[in-house]
Amino acid sequence: MAAIQERWLPVWDELAPFRSGRPDDDRPTKYVLDMFPYPSGDLHMGHAEAYALGDVVARYWVQRGFNVMHPIGWDAFGLPAENAAIKRGEDPVRWTYENIAQQKSSMRRYACSFDWDRVFNTCDPEYYRWNQWFFLRMFERGLAYRKDSNVNWCPNCQTVLANEQVVGGLCERCDTAVTKKKLTQWYLRITDYADRLLDDMQQLEGAWPEKVLLMQKNWIGRSVGAEVQFAIEGRDEPVTVYTTRPDTLYGATFFVVAADSDLASELAAGTPAEAEFTAYLEKVKNESELDRLDASRAKTGVDLQLHAINPVNGERIPVWASDYVLADYGTGAIMAVPAHDQRDLDFALTFGLPVRVVVEAGEDPAVTGVATADDGPHVNSGPLDGLDKADAIDRIVDILRERGTGEPAVNYRLRDWLISRQRYWGTPIPIVHCPACGEVPVPDDELPVRLPPAEGLDLKPKGTSPLGGAVDWVHTDCPRCGGPALRDTDTMDTFVDSSWYYLRYADPQNDEEAFDPEKVRRWLPVDQYVGGVTHAILHLLYSRFFTKVLHDMGMLDFTEPFTRLLNQGMVVMDGSAMSKSRGNLVRLSDELAVHGVDAIRLTLVFAGPPEDDIDWADVSPAGSKKFLARAWRLSGDVTSAPGADPTTGDVELRKATHRAVHDSAVAVESLRFNVAIARAMELVNATRKAIDSGCGPADPAVREAVEAVAVMLSVVAPYTAEDMWSRLGHEPCVALAGWPDVDPALLVEESVICVVQVAGKVRDRIEVPPTISEDELRERALAAPGLVKALEGRGIRTVIVRAPKLVNVVPA
């Protein structure tokens, strides 16, 4: 096996069958993309699976005559390089590029069908320059902005995190409990695109996993309701609340503002409750995100001893501050309707506040402790009495609008994307802070703002950007007034890098612009994207956002970047994720050494549907190897010459061949690669039989079959296939041999077995032509001996005929 690998690698290097940028290439195009890897160490089992799957698709479309762009690059910015620098004093640049070289050489041996002419790394200044360029365009459009806010803070990584990077209150990267910190940070206004991110999912219906679409939908969390203004006694400005249930306005018995909002501090100032509030706020600030997420914990709050006025009935209701209301959702203040909202009810019961039912829907919540959210006739609600929910909402919105105290509103769970990071190994934010001019963009012709060398910088996480230590780099002149100014010292979230890399592949060397729109038009959108489900929200949502922004800038003519998405499963061992600490790590390099590249690829692809997890304990690379050897041996048995006319060959074997070629193509196109391989295995078995005990090795049908096997295998086991192709007397590459044409005549069966049933039970089988008429079939079936016997002379009530496969006789 090793010998075969060594034989063909140099040949493929020479012939470069997967180069997609030849100027005279007039094949139609396809774009197959694997999510690019992060260069931490060498490739592992997960990579091996993902790239084997992507390769099947890419190689298949090449066989079908397409010019396939199947690029690779490296997602090379990020914390591991920095951590290696901190722990072992390595230079992040060297560490990163060495790992890339290592992975690249492993990919070559793994025979990935990448177009090596298109490689780039996101840490190349030639690439991140365009991150900065896009940032500046967004800044000009008001889509990139800085604001002071309570942000997610990971005390371990010592950096801020985007909402998407907080999973269940923990840092996505290191599982540390996330806290809040008030900081001024850069954001991208993804919320402006919330509706389009939602609506455009229609384009992806059926082409992306249902699960991913659902997760994105939940994440965006569009909610429709109304904003209602409440006057506050002793304050000029009214306070607006957001509610999805304006119809329950008459049931509002108190009012709550988020304790950590500016509004709360403002309202508390000067009240007798101020001291109590300040103490409470201190406590709230120290809570971790994890604490806050525990919905079952007791409600807490402070009575601000103020009153809000219900705009519809003039009722005075008490104003409280609590941490169960979020400062950054809606307006940071709510009207509390305890009868019909569980959280409000819990709060009311804790503090002895009144509960008033306004929708008749079951038991009294004040007694049961369970708020009712169902529809029902409204009561205690003045003009809404008797109406159901939908009508009551319409009515109350009309009333509020008339009085100018409210209007319909939409809110999203999605927050703007926080992109500043207080870390070294990322794209510098191209902004200069000038004491006179404020935030000044670095002019385009001064891009890229290069990362200063790590040498001499303190990269240890300490809560402020390491770039601040690069004194010469930080101090600069203001591009606007020329006065002394300071560079922004934060770097961009690395998800910015991956939000547009798929566009750069179409034009990777361009140093005039991020990409030539013409080239992008030729290749994009991506026809098939392959990657892990871990990116269901983060990377995929951000990429969709970038695509829409660039579309609005006139740079793209499509609005969704990835036409079809495949989320491959994980490779696990004995039912759980592989890890060194668990002691169940299977090393890819070991497996490759024992079984060879082809057997490992085949094992991964054949293990099951690609989206399912693979338990390495359940699969058999040795079995894969055995199958490949069995297929390979066929190529030595063929005795007819290349070009032998198959039409004179054995018809039964030819049928098996054409059926297999047809079925496996259908399977590949619907991403059921394991099925495609099963079909190839069946053909290998049929061919073996034909050679040993059928038409014999000289029959041209045998050559046709074996050549078909070689081409089918070429998409998953390239070394074996290439060697077979060579033994069959052909020049390389089998990868470009072309998928065999299917003769439809050979797919038609000459006769089929028809089942003859009595009352649904099979009593006989008869062989009939597939084109048999219903009448003819009925007649023949009724004469079948098994049927006559089963009927035992009973009469017949009905005969159901489903030509040509079945006849069912219902006896009287």
Find the helix packing angle between 45-63 and 673-693, rounded to 10°.
70
Q: Which of 142, 206, 295, 812 binds RNA (CB under 7 A)?
A: 295
Kindly indicate which of the ranges 53-61, 235-243, 360-368, 725-733 contains the residues binding RNA, using the contact rule CB under 7 A. 235-243
Between residue 689 and residue 708, which ones bind RNA under the rule CB under 7 A? 689, 692
Question: What residue type is 590 in one-letter code?
Answer: D
390-419 positions binding RNA, by CB under 7 A: 411, 413
* Among 168, 362, 386, 482, contact with RNA (rule: CB under 7 A): 168
Min dist CB 571 to RNA, Å, is 12
Q: Which two tokens stand for residue 95?
A: 């560490």
| Shortest distance (Å) from residue 604 CB to RNA | 11
Please, what is the minimum distance in Å from the beta carbon of residue 222 to RNA? 8
The residue range among 47-55, 240-248, 399-407, 449-457 that interacts with RNA, by the rule CB under 7 A, is 240-248
Q: Does 748 bind RNA (CB under 7 A)?
A: no
Span from 93-101, 267-275, 714-722, 752-760 in contact with RNA (CB under 7 A): 752-760
Which CB sits closer to RNA, 145 or 329? 329
C-alpha 461/C-alpha 471 separation (Å) is 18
Q: Which of residues 184-213 bind RNA (CB under 7 A)?
A: 210-211
State the number of binding residues for RNA (CB under 7 A). 78
Distance of closest approach, residue 295 Cβ to RNA, in angstroms: 4
Stretch that binds RNA, among 338-346, 426-434, 593-601, 728-736 (CB under 7 A): 338-346
User: Binding residue for RNA (CB under 7 A) from 741, 792, 798, 812?
Assistant: 798
Query: In this complex, which beta carbon is closest to RNA, that of residue 124 or of residue 315?
Result: 315
Q: Which of 214, 594, 651, 736 binds RNA (CB under 7 A)?
A: 214
Work out the end-to-end distance of the chain between its first and last CA atoms, rounded to an integer number of angstroms. 67
Select the span of 275-283, 523-531, 682-690, 735-743 touching RNA (CB under 7 A): 682-690
Q: 686: closest CA among 739, 647, 630?
A: 630
**Could you give the 3-state DSSP secondary structure of residue 683?**
helix
Whole-number Å distance between alpha carbons of 136 and 142: 10
* Residue 612 beta carbon to RNA: minimum distance, rounded to whole angstroms: 4
Minimum CB distance to RNA smaller for 572 or for 737: 572
Of 456, 423, 425, 462, nearest to 89 by C-alpha is 456
Shortest approach of RNA to residue 331 CB, angstroms? 7
> Is position 343 an interface residue for RNA (rule: CB under 7 A)?
yes
In the bound state with RNA, the residue whose beta carbon lies nearer, of 379 and 619, is: 619
Residue 8, C-beta contacts closer than 8 angstroms, at least 6 positions apart: 718, 719, 722, 723, 732
**From CA 699, how far away is CA 646, in angstroms rounded?**
8
- DSSP conformation class of 435: T
Which H or E run includes 692?
Answer: helix 673-693
**What is the footprint of RNA within residues 11-40 (CB under 7 A)?**
none
Rounded to an integer, what distance in angstroms lies between the CA atom of residue 455 and that of residue 754?
80
Q: What is the dihedral of CA 588, 590, 595, 597, to 10 degrees?
A: 40
Among residues 196 and 630, whose Cβ is nearest to RNA?
Answer: 630
Site map (CB under 7 A) of RNA, residues 313-332, x = contact = ----------xxxx--xx-x
Query: Which token pair is 749?
Result: 């069966």
Show the site string, 642-681: x = touches RNA by CB under 7 A, - = not: ------------------------------x-xx--x--x
Q: Are strands 166-167 and 761-768 parallel, antiparallel or unpaired?
A: unpaired
802 lies in the binding site for RNA (CB under 7 A): yes
In the complex with RNA, the residue whose CB is nearer, 117 or 613, is: 613
Instruction: Out of 142, 760, 793, 795, name the contact with RNA by CB under 7 A.
Output: 760
Cβ neighbours, 10 Å, residue 468: 17
Q: Which of 528, 722, 651, 561 is nearest to 5 (CA)?
A: 722
β-bridge mates for residue 90, sequence order: none
Q: How far apart are CA 174 and CA 650, in angstroms?
A: 63
**Which residues, in sequence order, are CB contacts of 213 under 8 Å at separation 6+?**
201, 204, 205
Distances, alpha carbon 743 to alpha carbons 176, 465, 489, 534, in Å: 61, 66, 65, 43
Q: What is the closest distance, in whole angstroms, from the C-beta atom of residue 555 to RNA in the complex?
A: 32
> Are 384 and 247 within 8 A, CB to CB?
yes
Give the residue among 727, 550, 382, 532 at the shortest CA–CA distance from 36: 532
Identify whether the C-beta of residue 434 lies closer than 8 Å to the C-beta of residue 485.
Answer: yes
Q: Residues 590 to 619: which contact RNA by CB under 7 A?
A: 606-609, 612-613, 615, 618-619
- Other CB atoms within a 10 A radius of the CB of residue 216 amount to 20
Quick one: 62 or 264, whose CB is closer to RNA? 264
The reply to whether 288 sits near RNA by the rule CB under 7 A is: no
- Please state whether beta strands 417-418 and 406-411 pair in parallel, antiparallel, or not at all (unpaired): unpaired
Interatomic CA distance for residues 299 and 473, integer angstroms: 50
Q: Looking at 272-280, 287-295, 306-314, 429-437, which segment touches RNA (CB under 7 A)?
A: 287-295
Give CA–CA dist 96/94, Å, rounded: 5
Nearer to RNA, 174 or 481 (CB): 174
Q: Give the footprint of RNA on residues 133-152 (CB under 7 A).
A: none
What is the C-alpha separation between 344 and 317, in angstroms, rounded? 14
Shortest separation between residue 271's beta carbon and RNA, angstroms: 21
Range 713-742, binding RNA (CB under 7 A) = none
**Counting beta carbons within 10 angstroms of the beta carbon of residue 404, is it exposed (0 to 12), middle (13 to 18) or buried (19 or more)?**
exposed
- Closest to RNA by CB, 62 vs 803, is 803
- How is residue 121 annotated by DSSP? B
**What is the three-state SS of 62-118?**
HHCCCEEECCCCECCCCHHHHHHHHHHCCCHHHHHHHHHHHHHHHHHHCCCCCCHHH
Interface region with RNA, contact rule CB under 7 A, candidates 96-104, 192-200, 712-720, 753-761: 753-761
The smaller minimum CB distance to RNA, of residues 522 and 727, is found at 727
Window 87-126: contact mask with RNA (x via CB under 7 A): ----------------------------------------
* Shortest Å, Cβ 510 to RNA: 37
Whether the Cβ atoms of residue 517 and residue 474 lie closer than 8 Å to each other: no
- Choose which of 41, 65, 125, 221 interacts with RNA (CB under 7 A): 221
Q: What's the min distance (Å) between Cβ of 465 and RNA?
A: 27
Options 7-15, 199-207, 290-298, 458-466: segment touching RNA (CB under 7 A): 290-298
Closest approach of RNA to the CB of residue 689, in Å = 5
In this chain, which stretch among 12-20, 60-68, 242-250, 356-364 interacts with RNA, using CB under 7 A? 242-250
635 vs 724: CA distance, rounded Å: 5
Interacting stretch for RNA, rule CB under 7 A, among 7-15, 42-50, 443-451, 686-694? 686-694
Q: Which of 187, 190, 206, 188 is nearest to 198 (CA)?
A: 190
Question: Which of 759, 783, 788, 796 lies at the binding interface for RNA (CB under 7 A)?
Answer: 759
Shortest Cβ distance from residue 805 to RNA (Å)?
5
Stretch that binds RNA, among 147-155, 374-382, 434-442, 688-696 (CB under 7 A): 688-696
Give, as ranges, the residues between 251 and 280 that touch RNA (CB under 7 A): 258
For residue 565, state whether it binds RNA (rule: CB under 7 A).
no
d(CA 153, CA 776): 78
Q: What is the largest CA-CA distance in the chain?
A: 110
Among 104, 633, 662, 727, binds RNA (CB under 7 A): 633
